[in-house]
Amino acid sequence: MTLVLDDYSRLLLAVGASALTVSAIETMIANLLLSAVDERLGSVLLVRRRRAELKDHPRHLTIDPASRFIGMR
C-alpha cells in the first residue's frame, strides 16, 4: 500500500508493529516454557478464545486433531 500510494498510515504501522511484538513475545515464552515447540502451536490468544468457545458449547464444537481447528459438527 505504501509503495503504490507513496504514503503510509500511522495506525496501520502501529497495528503491524504491535502484532509483530506480540508474536515475538509469544514465541520467546513458548520456547522458554515448553519442552516441544512446533509450527502447530499457534497463538496463546487464539487458544484462550477456543477454550472459551468449547466451554460455552461443548457438544456442538469438535476439534479436528489433524488440523487443530474448531469446526461445527
Parallel, antiparallel or unpaired: strands 61-64 and 69-72:
antiparallel
Domain range annotation of the chain: 1-39, 42-73
Specify the pTM: 0.48
Half-sphere exposure of 35 (CA within 13 A, CB side): 0
Dihedral angle over CA of 23, 55, 67, 38, nearest 10: 40
Instruction: State the Cα angle at 62 between 22 and 73, rounded to 5°.
Output: 130
pLDDT band (50, 70, 90) for residue 62: low
Alpha carbons 5 and 12: distance in angstroms, whole number: 14
Q: Identify the residue with better confidence: 62 or 45.
A: 45
pLDDT score at 34: 75
